Amino acid sequence: MLDKYSGNSFNIGFYINDRVFTADSIIDFQLLLGFNNIPYGKVSLIINSDPDFKIDTGDYGYILFVGTDITTLDTSELSIYIINSALNSVSGKQTEFKIEFKFGTPKSLEPISYAYTGNSLDAIKESFTHNAYQCINILNENNMADTNDNMVWKYISDNMESRATEIISHTIRQNDYVFWYFDENYASYAISSFQLSQEMGSRYAMIYNKNALSSTSASTYTDTNSGIKIWLYPNESRENLLGSKLKELYPNLVFSTISNGSVNVGNCKGDCFSNVMKSLGDNTQETLRTQMNISKNSTYGDVKLIQNYPSNTHKLYSLSPDIRERILATYGKVLYVSLYNSLGPEIGSLINVLTYKPNSLVEMPTIDPIYTDQYIVAEKAILQGRYLKSGLLNVPNRDETSDYIIKIKLISNHINDSGLEATLNVFKTIDIDNYSKAVL
């Protein structure tokens, strides 16, 4: 796939039904990547002087990433499946097709029935393997402890994505959030976790620079002092979502069991859910209640019934989706940044971001101690250059077909107060005058 670490611009092409579509025939391109889903995109393709050419729902093709300093790699992992196609307009001899697509092949989309015995991470790898895709367990490659949820995983006519999504929803590691994603380094799928991202350390950094869009190449550098990869971003937006996640942080759970032929029902609130989290090495539930001024027994959202655990599943199978939602909800500090002609860090990676107080940018930039932090890359959207001429991305003299903006969603844990100090320590090792003005 594209060498995202180069500073050079890149381009995107399509190969569908024996026809190559280059930049000048591609408009309104969008590609979305994130946790626990197969990449999805949409694009409009211009057809010239060929009224018989068609693109139908169910067709297959390839998406091609072409950089100025690389050759196109094997496209087998970048095949796409057309999930929706519409003839949008006809103007003279020109036809426009609007298509929606997902990464996939006939084999990857084929429903399969089988059973697999093992832990959840092995079951996810097996799920991809059954549909002719490679899936790498990066946790194992880095000697991280495996999950202890050995059981029989049964699939009845499910496709690769639905199986992997269902398995990951029941996957828990102690004090960690596990996910699968499309890995741009391997042009394939991988399994990773937030804890692994933290342990891999400070490889990446970002810093605001209003001139990041001033050249035709991406504002991406490797610092000679530290070896850290740095991206400059020209704009950002910020959110605090913790207060909107009450039903994930304090779920309204009711347990139902059968004892001596009688049904027993009980709520799981206060110490109950805190003790479940403590059993997984997470002691922050009570701290979080204090920070948010939430009473000990308060719960939120609709009642969710947790029934007896099936005998062939791991102990926390029924609770694991709620545990995972709670962990993810604590990452409520959100920063959206945009890069220009550079794909940026991969999904799930840790990145140190130095931000400034917005009202200090005109005169002397002052570091923002709240949003300067360590973040996890949660989502990426690759958008064609026409978005560079709209809204906050109003950048003149840009090519609407060959230039790309990459919008990245970064999330950070509200409970962890060490991110500011860790990020400042990283930037103290960087020759920051080469990239932006700051006072450390």
Q: What is the pLDDT of residues 378-419, one digit of tens each?
A: 999 988 765 555 544 455 455 555 677 889 999 998 776 778
Region at 261 (left for phi over 0; alpha for psi -120 to 50; beta for the rest):
left
**The tokens of 263 are what?**
């049904």
Q: Give residue 52's pLDDT.
A: 84
- Mean pLDDT within 258-265: 75
- Mean pLDDT within 336-359: 88
335 by DSSP, 3-state: which?
Answer: strand
**The tokens of 239 are what?**
């959110």
Q: Give residue 436's pLDDT.
A: 53
Specify the pTM. Answer: 0.89
**The tokens of 364 are what?**
């002397």
- Mean pLDDT within 171-196: 90
Q: How far apart are CA 2 and CA 343, in angstroms?
A: 8
Q: Give residue 296's pLDDT.
A: 87
| CA distances to 282, 321, 370 from 413, in Å | 13, 19, 12
**The tokens of 138 are what?**
């990066």
Residue 70 phi, psi dihedral angles, 5° rounding = -135, 165
Q: Where are the domains of the chain?
A: 10-103, 112-193, 201-241+332-379+405-434, 243-322
Task: Decide if 387 contacts 393 (C-beta within 8 A).
Answer: yes
Q: Which residues contact 24 (CB under 8 A, 6 or more apart)?
A: 401
Task: Decide if 384 contacts 303 (C-beta within 8 A).
Answer: no
Region at 276 (left for phi over 0; alpha for psi -120 to 50; beta for the rest):
alpha
Q: How far apart are CA 339 and CA 235, in angstroms?
A: 9
Q: Give residue 97's pLDDT.
A: 92
Three-class SS string for 164-220? HHHHHCCCCECCECEEEEEECCCCEEEEEEHHHHHHCCCCEEEEECCCCCCCCCCCE
Task: Decide if 127 contacts 167 (C-beta within 8 A).
Answer: yes
355 by DSSP, 3-state: which?
Answer: coil
**The tokens of 31 are what?**
């590609």
Q: Give residue 432's pLDDT.
A: 66
Which pLDDT band holds residue 340 (cuts at 50, 70, 90)?
confident
Q: What is the pLDDT of residues 263-310, one digit of tens each?
A: 778 888 888 888 989 988 898 888 889 889 999 889 999 998 887 655
Q: Give residue 329's pLDDT.
A: 95
Q: What is the pLDDT of residues 86-107, one digit of tens each?
A: 987 777 778 889 999 999 888 8
CA nearest 344: which of 373, 375, 374, 382?
382
**The tokens of 30 are what?**
């969008």
Q: Give residue 263's pLDDT.
A: 73
Q: What is the dihedral of CA 432, 434, 438, 440, to 10 degrees?
A: 20
CA nearest 107: which of 86, 123, 130?
130
Region at 17 (left for phi over 0; alpha for psi -120 to 50; beta for the rest):
left
Which pLDDT band holds residue 433 (cuts at 50, 70, 90)?
low
432 by DSSP, 3-state: which?
Answer: helix
**Measured distance between the N- and C-terminal CA atoms of the chain, rounded to whole angstroms:** 37
Q: Give residue 373's pLDDT.
A: 94
Which pLDDT band holds residue 435 (cuts at 50, 70, 90)?
low
Q: Give residue 32's pLDDT.
A: 94
**The tokens of 53 are what?**
């050419």
Percent of the chain with pLDDT over 90: 41
Q: Give residue 305's pLDDT.
A: 87
CA nearest 45: which of 75, 64, 63, 24?
24
Considering only 50-59, 116-125, 358-367, 404-413, which range has the smallest mean pLDDT?
358-367
